[in-house]
Every structure is written in structure tokens, then in C-alpha cells.
Amino acid sequence: MPNAKKILVVEDERELCSILYDDLSSRGYSVDLARNGQEGLEKLQMTEPDLIICDRAMPVMSGYQMLERIRGSYPQYKHLPIIFLTALTDPRDRHSVDHLEPSAYLEKPVDLEKLAATVDGIFNK
């Protein structure tokens, strides 16, 4: 689909990556995958996604570090929507990323319907 919205999923859990890829692809999105924040930054520049769905805690570079880098070093992506997926459920964890302006902060285990509604909401603003 040439006009499909592009989503970059940055997630280190192999099984969840596969689930997200299958679910989002079945909803008509073009999906690319990265295994950590460093790979996510590399793919960001190659694929120029319309949205990033990103885990917070990953090896090599965390989602937090990746978003910090995107917001600080890539002005062209200042308003790129980013959804954090995380097992970090403490409100202080959520508050600690507010200044990076994520579009949403969803807890794991991932509710695919809630994720789909969140993605639709971002794209239909």
C-alpha cells in the first residue's frame, strides 16, 4: 500500500515485536521493526515513519534515550508522534518523560484494541 501510514516499532521482546507487526499490518499500516533505541534512530532516518511505537526499557539504548535524542537532535521530528509501551507503571515513570512530549503512554501487557484506538486517534487528529 503506497499511501499506508508508516509505523516504526522499537521493541526488544521478539514475541511482542511479532504480535505488533502482525496486528498493525493487518490494520493497513506499513510497519518497520527495530530491536533497540540505537537501531530505532538508524531506521528513523531511513524510513521516515509517521509514528513510532517504542518500549521504554531496552538494551543498547532505551526508548527514553532514543526519544531524548530525537527531540534534541532532529528538529524535523519535533512533532513526530511517539507512543511509549512500558511495563513501568509507576506514575513517576510516566511523569519523567512528560517533557519529551510522547503522544501516549500505554502499559504492558499491551491491549491491542487500545493501542489501535490510540494510533487511530493520533492519525485522525
The whole-angstrom separation of Cα 8 and Cα 53 is 6
pLDDT at residue 93, rounded to an integer? 72
pLDDT at residue 2, rounded to an integer? 56
Domain ranges, ordered by start, for the chain: 6-123
Q: Which three cell numbers stand for residue 102?
A: 510522547
66 close to 54: Cβ distance less than 8 angstroms: yes
Question: What does the mean pLDDT of the chain come to?
Answer: 92
Q: What number is the average pLDDT over the span 40-49?
A: 95
Is domain 6-123 in CATH 3.40.1410.10, yes or no? no
Give the Cβ contact number of residue 55 at 10 Å.
26
**Closest to 61 (Cα-Cα) out of 41, 81, 76:** 41
